[in-house]
A and B are shown apart, each in its own frame.
Chain A
Amino acid sequence: DTTVKQNPRYKLARVGKPVNLICSQTMNHDTMYWYQKKPNQAPKLLLFYYDKILNREADTFEKFQSSRPNNSFCSLYIGSAGLEYSAMYLCASSRDWGKVFFGKGTRLTVV
């Protein structure tokens, strides 16, 4: 199975509440990524796990957390959602210098 699965596909959250998005792959990929995509903007890398090591982009360091309990799963966690977090969240994975596989995304709406 060469797909990256993201659950749920759509999520509605309340301002101030936590949000947890899930991503999984069974390709034994060593690296998993999270991107944020807002309308009419470029997808923006938030963070990635290389094996068990988390790398977060400097400008989103405090806004997002992530965990990778095993090779197949990776989550994106927002502790207290604000309206500005409404976006499409894209998960991706890769191995070594190979192809990058993207999931279909989770559309988060914060109200």
Chain B
Amino acid sequence: GDSVTQTEGQVTVSESKSLIINCTYSATSIAYPNLFWYVRYPGEGLQLLLKVITAGQKGSSRGFEATYNKETTSFHLQKASVQESDSAVYYCALSDLATQVVGQLTFGSGTRLQVYA
């Protein structure tokens, strides 16, 4: 089946430092997977941070960016300078928008980001 792997359960970063959260995927049943990053802020529901539909493209939002790399099957999330307000849980996800409804998502297990001042 299809799967998403996030190897770090928690990442702690000092404010203004750079960040990378790793995500790799395996899409055995999807020819052209679509990739997403969702974020859950404390006390809130999951919300879409960014998405990339096409391999080789980059998505960006709120200073975060991620590039869909088909060769390495990766979709790492990066930010040049994090803020305390970025503290949240980040989930990588994939879907097949060609054959599935938009909310049919395969998620990774999430990475908790803690930013300290």
Q: B-contacting residues of A (Cβ < 8 Å)? A: 3-4, 31, 33, 40-45, 48, 50, 90, 92-94, 96-105
- When distances are taken between beta carbons in the complex, the residues of chain B under 8 Å from A44 are 107
- Whether B103 and A104, one on each chain, are in contact in the complex, defined by CB atoms closer than 8 angstroms, is no
- Whether B91 and A98, one on each chain, are in contact in the complex, defined by CB atoms closer than 8 angstroms, is no
Q: A-contacting residues of B (Cβ < 8 Å)? A: 4, 9, 43-48, 91, 97, 101-110
- Selected from B48, B97, B107, the residue in CB contact (under 8 A) with A97 is B97
- When distances are taken between beta carbons in the complex, the residues of chain B under 8 Å from A48 are 101, 103-104
Whole-angstrom distance from the CB of B49 to the nearest CB of chain A?
12
CA distance A100 to B103 in the complex (A): 6
- Whether B47 and A102, one on each chain, are in contact in the complex, defined by CB atoms closer than 8 angstroms, is yes
- When distances are taken between beta carbons in the complex, the residues of chain A under 8 Å from B108 are 42
Question: Closest residue of chain B to A32, judged by CB?
Answer: B103
CA distance A44 to B97 in the complex (A): 18
- When distances are taken between beta carbons in the complex, the residues of chain B under 8 Å from A4 are 45
- When distances are taken between beta carbons in the complex, the residues of chain B under 8 Å from A97 are 97, 102
- Selected from A45, A50, A90, A94, the residue in CB contact (under 8 A) with B45 is A90
CA distance A3 to B47 in the complex (A): 11
A100/B109 contact (C-beta < 8 A), A42-B4, A42-B91 known: no
- Whether B45 and A42, one on each chain, are in contact in the complex, defined by CB atoms closer than 8 angstroms, is no
- When distances are taken between beta carbons in the complex, the residues of chain B under 8 Å from A102 are 45-47
Whole-angstrom distance from the CB of A43 to the nearest CB of chain B?
5
- When distances are taken between beta carbons in the complex, the residues of chain B under 8 Å from A105 are 45
- Whether A94 and B46, one on each chain, are in contact in the complex, defined by CB atoms closer than 8 angstroms, is no
CA distance A45 to B95 in the complex (A): 12
Minimum-distance CB pairs A-B, first 10? A102-B45, A102-B46, A42-B107, A100-B103, A42-B109, A43-B107, A94-B103, A33-B103, A104-B45, A94-B102
- When distances are taken between beta carbons in the complex, the residues of chain A under 8 Å from B91 are 42-43
Question: Closest residue of chain A to B6, judged by CB?
Answer: A42
- When distances are taken between beta carbons in the complex, the residues of chain A under 8 Å from B109 are 40-42
Whole-angstrom distance from the CB of B88 to the nearest CB of chain A?
13
